[in-house]
């Protein structure tokens, strides 16, 4: 069963140390300075249309759930609550569950943020129209890398008795596993759960790369942009590690429209979220979820992702015996 939990400013106090989180401090500053609402709510018509956003609770694995939740809510408020738009905004967070279409239908969401794997898994069961890509790099797609030591290959790793892999966790980590499984199976090797004797999921790319650098792990899967950022801080990583394989440009997660919004609602969200990158306050807010902006999605953006996911489903589909 899906669990729906409201997030308030009080709930953003850290449960362990009872100190305010980054998002808590930022939202308080924006509320007191008027940045969040400013003049936006003045002169809005009396009857407001509630726009409901849903998001998988683990969609941003590299930050705390509370910070991710409040930041996303703040951004959607800023996008939709304007003088000229008769909207109010409500954000609900969906815990991961197999029956995502039922959760979407029960919640009556207008827009949902979900991984590309969840989109392709559920698009035939419920109406989902991809409209936006939250981008970490300013580009619509990301390249995944299988990173190993400079002297390693798949064969040398396979020769080891213990084989250790690290990948990014959360909902977007599923695409990394699909890509790696497809890569291995396509070379006549077992999938990642059989090829590697130990697999660990981490929240931050650095926690995947450094163990490989220090020979504490055999391989990791990270994005090319993440590796380049890490190499800027430590150029020696680029000299000691190598990318064994690189994926095509993939979309790891997206914002989709359901049947709830009108075309005008959809166009408004697209326009306003894209314009956020021009606002210094919103750019600062997006840094919490490590985003540079939102980009309008196109069929070309999704082409490689769709090809990968459909091919993976085909090659891993259980074979029915003819006996």
Q: Does 313 reside within a domain?
A: no
H or E segment and range at residue 211: helix 205-213
Q: Does 4 reside within a domain?
A: no
Q: Are residues 14 and 120 in the same domain?
A: yes
Q: By C-alpha distance, which of 320, 308, 12, 11 is closest to 186?
A: 308
Domain end, chosen from 246, 265, 282, is at 246
229, 222 Cβ separation under 8 angstroms? no
Q: Are residues 262 and 239 in the same domain?
A: no
Average pLDDT over residues 57-77: 77
Residue 21 is predicted with a pLDDT of 53
Q: Which domain holds residue 218?
A: 144-246
Q: How many domains does the chain have?
A: 2
Q: What is the pLDDT of residues 260-297, one digit of tens each?
A: 999 999 999 999 999 988 888 888 888 877 788 899 99
Average pLDDT over residues 239-254: 95
Q: Are residues 17 and 122 in the same domain?
A: yes
CATH number for the domain including 149? 3.40.190.10
Residue 318 is predicted with a pLDDT of 67
Q: Are residues 231 and 260 in the same domain?
A: no
Please, what is the average pLDDT of the chain? 83
H or E segment and range at residue 166: strand 164-168
Q: What is the pLDDT of residues 20-54, one digit of tens each?
A: 454 544 544 444 334 344 344 444 456 788 999 98
Q: Which one has a higher pLDDT value, 170 or 36? A: 170
Residue 210 is predicted with a pLDDT of 95
Q: Does 52 reside within a domain?
A: yes
Q: Are residues 95 and 23 in the same domain?
A: yes
Q: Does 132 reside within a domain?
A: yes
pLDDT score of 137 more than 80? yes
Greatest C-alpha distance within the chain? 72
Q: Are residues 156 and 183 in the same domain?
A: yes
In this structure, the strands spanning 293-296 and 129-135 are antiparallel
Model confidence at 144, pLDDT cuts 50, 70, 90, reads very high
Q: Does 45 reside within a domain?
A: yes
């Amino acid at each position: 069963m899906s669990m729906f939990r409201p997030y308030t400013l009080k709930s953003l106090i850290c449960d362990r140390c009872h100190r305010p989180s980054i998002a808590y401090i930022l939202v308080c500053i924006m509320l007191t300075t008027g940045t969040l609402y400013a003049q936006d709510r003045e002169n809005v018509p009396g009857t407001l249309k509630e726009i409901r956003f849903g998001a998988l609770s683990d969609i941003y694995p590299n930050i705390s759930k509370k910070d991710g939740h409040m930041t996303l809510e703040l951004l959607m408020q800023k996008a939709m609550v304007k003088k000229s738009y008769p909207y109010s905004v409500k954000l609900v967070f969906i815990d991961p569950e197999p029956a995502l279409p039922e959760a979407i239908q029960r919640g009556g969401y207008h827009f949902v943020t979900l991984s590309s794997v969840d989109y392709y898994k559920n698009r035939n069961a419920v109406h989902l129209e991809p409209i936006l890509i939250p981008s970490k790099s300013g580009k619509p797609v990301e390249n995944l890398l299988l990173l190993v030591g400079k002297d390693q290959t798949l064969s040398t790793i396979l020769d080891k008795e213990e084989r250790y892999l690290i990948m990014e966790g959360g909902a977007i980590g599923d695409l990394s596993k699909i890509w790696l499984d497809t890569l291995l199976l396509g070379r006549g090797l077992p999938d990642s759960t059989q090829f590697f004797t130990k697999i660990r999921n981490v929240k931050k790319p650095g926690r995947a790369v450094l163990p490989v650098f220090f020979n504490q792990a055999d391989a990791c899967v990270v994005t090319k942009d993440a590796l380049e950022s890490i190499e800027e801080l430590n150029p020696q990583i680029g000299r000691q590690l190598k990318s064994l394989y690189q994926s095509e440009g993939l979309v790891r997660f997206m914002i989709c429209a359901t049947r709830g919004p009108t075309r005008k609602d959809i166009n408004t969200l697209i326009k306003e979220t894209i314009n956020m990158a021009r606002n210094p306050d919103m750019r600062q807010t997006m840094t919490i979820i490590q985003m540079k902006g939102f980009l309008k999605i196109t069929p070309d953006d999704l082409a490689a992702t769709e090809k990968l996911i459909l091919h993976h489903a085909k090659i891993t589909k259980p074979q029915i015996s003819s006996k």
